[in-house]
Amino acid sequence: MIHITCDLCGKDLTASGESRYVVRIEAFPGFDPMAITEADLDEDPMEAVSELLQRDEHLNSEELATPLNKNFRFDLCPCCHKKYLNDPLGREMPRTLDFSKN
């Protein structure tokens, strides 16, 4: 049997038989569409490649291998799903402060 819990509150959704909601989030770089101009056609593509290589030469292999796209998938109980729909970016979530015990 597959065991499913709410990714926000931890409620066991398998045992309760409660419905669940799946939230998928995809993060990726945004690119504005570009129009090709005469100046673009006159540029040397090898020069552009050289500039990219020079720009990235200080990066290590781990930084170069980091994917630009990231996908997330969460299972939510009905209560947490409703909260998520009302505030998907968590802007209204109370900020918790971590003070030392001095």
Confidence at 96, pLDDT banded by 50, 70, 90: low
Phi-psi region of 85 (alpha: psi -120 to 50; beta: other; left: phi over 0): alpha
Structure tokens at 5: 């819990």
Residue 79, pLDDT score: 94
The string of pLDDT tens digits covering residues 19-29 is 899 999 999 88
Structure tokens at 102: 């001095």
Residue 22, pLDDT score: 96
Residue 77, pLDDT score: 94
CA distance 93 to 25: 19
Answer whether 13's CB lies under 8 Å from 1's CB. no
The string of pLDDT tens digits covering residues 35-52 is 778 877 788 888 888 887
Q: pTM higher than 0.85, yes or no? A: no
Confidence at 76, pLDDT banded by 50, 70, 90: very high
Structure tokens at 52: 């990219």
Beta bridge partners of 77: none
